[in-house]
Amino acid sequence: MSVPFEISIGLRYLRAKRKQAFISVISAFGVLGVMLGVMTLIIVLGVMNGFERDLKEKILGTVSHLVVMNHSSRSLTGWPELVSRIKAFDGIRAATPYVYGQAMLSSRGRVRGVVVRGIDVNTAGGVISLHKYLQSGSIQELGVTTEGLHGIIIGRELAISNSLRDGDVVQLISPQGKRTPIGAVPKVQNFKVVGVYKSGMYEFDANLVYMDLNEAQHFFEMGDGVTGIEVAVKDIYYAPKLGSRIEASLGHNYWTRTWKDMYRNLFSALKLEKIAMFIILTFIVLVAAFNIIISLIMLVMEKSRDIAILKALGATSDRIMRIFIVQGMIVGIVGTILGAVGGIVGSLLLARYPVIELPEEIYTISQLPVAIHPVDVLIICAVALSICFLATLYPSLRAARLAPAEALRYE
């Protein structure tokens, strides 16, 4: 099969002679610029995707995918039947009741506010990943009374700031108080630390305390009620639609919140940062595109005689234009392919080897997390090729408009 003459001539012009060597050097810098731009974009977005994935795993290990609550009251009664109805929905993986409230934790003369979360030790494991984060103790110990005290599990940061460890006794003070003949007085109860967890999220590790569901109901005087139902879904991105279906089925007294609703600002900020970084790093490819423009303009000036002869032999302006588009796109394609390969290989090396070490006490990870999304790679390559194509248009149009008589007048 014969090669179209536009491609044949474009490739021949790339193999410069001695007097055209400078043009080839500029083209080589164009290839290098496109390669560096594509490679940098892939690696940087891969690292940002890795941080987002790591953050999402930490949040979804502590926060459920979907929460069902009651509009009309603080306490949700009749929850066993509600759990059964929710589990019947297609796409639901697990469901568990929970109690949520605020309290003051007192120990060793120090007092601080904490969030108390009561969980069902038998079903909570299907919704949250507390067992994966435990550094000591177990979830089952929450439901066991030792020395007349119920157990709680605290975060690592809370344990460090209050100098607590397994076996220590702390006081929890309920701000809602307890009703007595003389009025409401703060409810104070002793608990025993039976475990310490580390989720990697400072917000959770410093403020969140777990206790058994029944004891949380008693502590907050909720009777048989719970704050709501936590739900784990099979596809986390299907949670909003599933929440709407649950609301429509259960009635207007119930409402749902998804993990996206709870952390909308955080993930929106990450998305905006990713877009901003993409735009900023695209300027590297734009700089490379200027090299392509310069090299093609110089080539058109150098090859004006050849263009005139081709036109005199019957070559149309469109075919002349395609010759220089092909030459510019060869530079863009080679640079994009090399950049894509370099970016993927570089990302894999960063993911496998700790080339850049991070302080774990600050970032909760010891090396850069990397997650390559094929869609991102395709978008980056498409943008790079589009910029390279646009860079070829002006020099190609200039070559196509060259008049043969004017080009050959002084030959």
Longest dimension (CA), the chain: 113
Helix, strand and coil content of the chain, in percent to the nearest 5, comes to 55, 20, 20
Residues whose CB falls within 8 Å of the CB of residue 150, separated by 6 or more in sequence, listed in order: 142, 191, 192, 211, 212, 215
Helix (H) or strand (E) holding 100: strand 92-107
Q: What is the mean pLDDT of residues 287-295?
A: 81
Q: What is the mean pLDDT of residues 248-276?
A: 85
pLDDT at 211: 92
- Neighbour tally for 120: CB within 10 Å: 22
pLDDT at 301: 72
Token pair, residue 252, equals 């207007």
Parallel, antiparallel, or unpaired: how do β-strands 150-155 and 183-197 relate? Answer: parallel
**Helix, strand or coil for residue 294?**
helix
* More confidently predicted of 327 and 101: 101
Report the distance separating Cα 23 and Cα 18, nearest Å: 10
pLDDT at 18: 45
Q: Do 31 and 317 touch, CB atoms closer than 8 A?
A: no
H helices of 76-172, in order, are 79-87, 130-133, 156-161
What is the per-residue DSSP string for 202-266? HHHHTTEEEEEHHHHHHHTT-TT-BSEEEEEESSGGGHHHHHHHHHHHH-TTEEEEEHHHHTHHH
CA-based radius of gyration for the chain: 33
What is the per-residue DSSP string for 329-366? HHHHHHHHHHHHHHHHHHHHHHHHS-SSB--HHHHSSS
pLDDT at 403 over 90: no
pLDDT at 345: 93
Domain boundaries, the chain: 5-59+266-408, 64-259
Report the distance separating Cα 269 and Cα 55, nearest Å: 13
Q: Do 47 and 393 touch, CB atoms closer than 8 A?
A: no
pLDDT (tens digit per residue) in 187-208 = 888 899 999 998 888 888 889 9
pLDDT at 248 over 50: yes
For 6-20, 81-95, 271-285, 327-341, which range has the lowest pLDDT when averaged over its residues? 6-20
Q: Is the dihedral of CA 329, 330, 335, 340 positive or negative?
A: positive
Q: Do 286 and 387 touch, CB atoms closer than 8 A?
A: yes
pLDDT at 409: 57
Report the mean per-residue pLDDT for the chain: 82
pLDDT (tens digit per residue) in 307-334 = 777 777 777 777 778 877 888 888 888 8
pLDDT at 11 over 70: no
Q: Identify the CA nearest to 201 among candidates 115, 104, 102, 93.
A: 115
pLDDT at 92 over 50: yes
For 16-30, 104-118, 201-215, 384-398, which range has the lowest pLDDT when averaged over its residues? 16-30
pLDDT at 152: 92
| Share above pLDDT 70 across residues of the chain, in percent, rounded to a whole number | 85
Token pair, residue 118, equals 């009561």
pLDDT at 344: 93
Overall pTM surpassing 0.85 (yes/no): no
pLDDT (tens digit per residue) in 18-54 = 455 666 677 778 888 889 989 999 998 998 888 888 8
Q: What is the mean pLDDT of residues 195-223?
A: 88
Report the distance separating Cα 293 and Cα 284, nearest Å: 15
* More confidently predicted of 290 and 115: 115
Report the distance separating Cα 298 and Cα 238, nearest Å: 55
Confidence grade of residue 405 (pLDDT, cut at 50, 70, 90): low
pLDDT at 54: 84
pLDDT at 402 over 80: no
* More confidently predicted of 291 and 119: 119
pLDDT at 230: 92
Report the distance separating Cα 158 and Cα 188, nearest Å: 19
Q: What is the mean pLDDT of residues 222-248?
A: 88
pLDDT (tens digit per residue) in 58-76 = 888 888 889 988 877 677 8
